[in-house]
Structure 1
Amino acid sequence: MHLGLRLLFGFFVITGLAAYFVLRVFLAEVQPSVREVAEDILVDAAHLLAEGAGAELAAMPAGGTLAGGAFAASVERYRARPVDAQIWGLHKRSLDFRVYVTDAEGRVVFDGGDTPATGADYSRWRDVARTLRGEYGARATREVQHDERTSVLYVAAPVQHGGRTIGVLTVAKPVRTIQQFIDRAERKILVAGAWLLGLSLAVGVGVTLWTVHSVRTLRRYAQQARAGERQAVPALPGELGELAQAMAAMRDRLEDRGHVEQAMRALTHELKSPLAAIGGAAELLHDALPDADREAFARQIGEQVQRLRELVDRLLELSKLESLRAPAEQQPVSLLALADALLAEQAAALRQRAVTIEWRQRDAASVPGDAEQLRLALSNLLANALGFAPPGSTLAWSVAADANEVTIGLRDHGPGVADYALPQLGQRFFSTPRVADGRKGSGLGLAIVRQIVLLHRGRLRFEPAQPGLQVWLTLPR
């Protein structure tokens, strides 16, 4: 299973379980809470009505009832009142209180319900019995034994006169009259829970996508590092950013070690030829030689020493460039102006080789970068092209710009490079024989060009031109 699916599944399971238990608790508390509120209201109503019934109950003869009295009449008028109240979007169209009164023995002396129970003995009912004992009396009785919705809440209050309890007044209210409020509350909780779950899922998807994107960016960076590509360290937050920095540091150390090993092997191979030539010439100079031979051997030693000096200088320059992570300076640089200045400096060398310059395109455009480094790159490109250009040939230059990039093209008309060798151009100490003298160069010139291009986030491409070699150097604007 992919990382994203695992994260999303885990997030959804945790959120779903949390939402399930929270909703379950809320739903389990709705109905008891509404009943508790209703019971509180019934307590207030029972005590209020008990005060109104006290005088009549005290004056009632033994074995009599409250029928026909003022209290009974007021209850009947209450039951007959029309009502249409809108309570938070729900309509109440009936008055649901049932009121009954018992005397001190628990006999019903008034019942305002639909089926009056006047004369019945309620002394054993919980609401009446507890109230007569001076306790809080209340009960909930189902009209249908197995149906919770048919429950009726009964709350009693003592009817007192002269400091003693002379009876009990009970107020009853069916649960079905408040069930609509319970149902609405449960629906709202379920809808809110569904929205919460959906929002949590959306957040989970967002967090998962963000995490997977960061991890994939880090993976892509690691794959590029493994392939030897030098890319900027991705800007990632938190621990992933620290991991990317650690990977970059590890890559740099491994690259440095690999570069040192490769450079040492290549340098050892590259030094063998000039050292052997210097050693052989030095040995011969110990013998008696004609002046012409002595001069030739001395010149050979000087040439090889100069070759070694150039090799060391270029190795130092390349090592300095490889230690950088970005150009030393960032300022607008005109590549066309750099090329013109470079060609002016090399005019004598071009005339000596009878090599002419042909401009195919001249776009004046600037790129951000280090002027000295870019000048060094163009200088090495020109030196490489001039070394392989036959006398009397042409070097084709172009500077082409668009909205995003500037591309410099340079083509010589020399022997070119075989297709299998094109990918190796720009590597240290890889070169092909030059036209002028048939000798191979160190290959460090194009390696310096490639390193400068990488520092400037550009691209370097080599293409066979038949005849010759076409070089494209592209830099972002």
Structure 2
Amino acid sequence: MPERRAAAARRAARLSLRRRLLTFLLVPVLGVLVLDAVIGYFVALAYSNRVHDADLSDSALTLSEMIDSDALSGELTAQARFLLEYDPDGRNYYSVVSDRHGRMIGNAELTGPGVTIHTDAPPKLYDTALGRRPLRAAIMRVPNRHDAGDVLTITVAENLRDRHTRAREILFLTLPMQALLIVAVLCLVWLGVSHGLGVLEPLTARLSRRGHDLGPIGEEDVPVEILPLTRTIDDLFARMRNMLGLQERFIADAAHQLRTPLAGIQLHVERLEGTTDDAERADALAHVHRLAARAARTSAQLLALTRTQSPDLPDHDGMDLIDLSTLVPEAVGMRVHQALSLGVDLGYEGGEGPCLVRGDALQIQEVIDNLVDNAFHYAGRGHAVTVSLAGTEDEVILAVEDDGPGVDEAFLDQLGERFFRVPGSDQEGTGLGLAIVESIAERHAARVVFRRGAESGLRVELHFPAPLTGKPGETAH
């Protein structure tokens, strides 16, 4: 049960392209709705302020006209006071102050804007306060028509409650329409995402019908946005085809190359079972031993060839910097004892100084072993095998040369092919040694050259490109 719950939780937490697209689209749209409401409120408030400011200016002008028409006796008529003070959400305030006589009428002590107000100028609007209550006021100065030389300062003010109320009313009128528009946009986004993802259905259906086909997906019905994904999958399929091809080739090669020694082993085992003659039994055991060794060597070389062709190995540029002037003499030294036992004169020739290449030390060791084994095998007792190393500015040349019977020039171009053996040769072999050398050389960006020896025999050269960067002290092995 805990495992099932954990699996269900993992499935629930699995990324959904639809959910991610809708989240990336819907959340910003909702944010835009909130931002639009805030901006709409301040726009409505600005409009409300403009209307109320105009009303304030009109009130100041109206009060000045009242003063012109009637001499002030210290009070306004009840009708005029009602018109000035009326406000359904609070109170309005006014005052008339004479430069000569002081405050004449009014219902509040209103402070001025702190700047000079010119006589007969249009009403000036400003923010003020009465106690802790914020107000918006209009002020103007007019001559006192009933007292020559006197100037009256007329101030009319109102609180801000009605302005905010009008702004909210405007917002509440427009917000439902905006919300309806946003909902329509969200529905369109939902439908658009669903329809957009629907274009993947033909591709999904086509892939589901492929079965075990590892061919390229192609691009005929693939949307541009997912082309990088399908191309990556095609690269993966190509690597898988390569791996499967290597496996199938290995199985086929193993079946082909091991069939003869295994059949021979079975035949000689049957001889052992069917005879009591000691000489015949000894001959059968000798054949079994020889065929078993051949099968083991064939299997080992097949595995070695398959390893050199593995796509998991690093390419030439990703290999380490190694010094062949150290590696090659060590590899030759390890084969001296075998050369002595076979009666072969094994030698090494190399210049002074490092010979740097980019490569894999173990694979180059395998190259040397295969070339030396091939020379031992076909040169034979009493002959010489020489391993040489030379370097130039552009390349490093590793060569293995013997003075044996050699190979006819007509067959030099075929050396390195899988299972190729020179016709007429009486030496047993798998035909894989030089194929392994060719495969390793290709991975190291090296060139293999087969040619006749200086006097006789065969000379095999590997031309490694000199590294573009690196110093002797940077060798990795």
| TM-score clears 0.5 | no
Q: What TM-score, normalized by structure 2, do the two folds share?
A: 0.44
Q: What TM-score, normalized by structure 1, do the two folds share?
A: 0.44
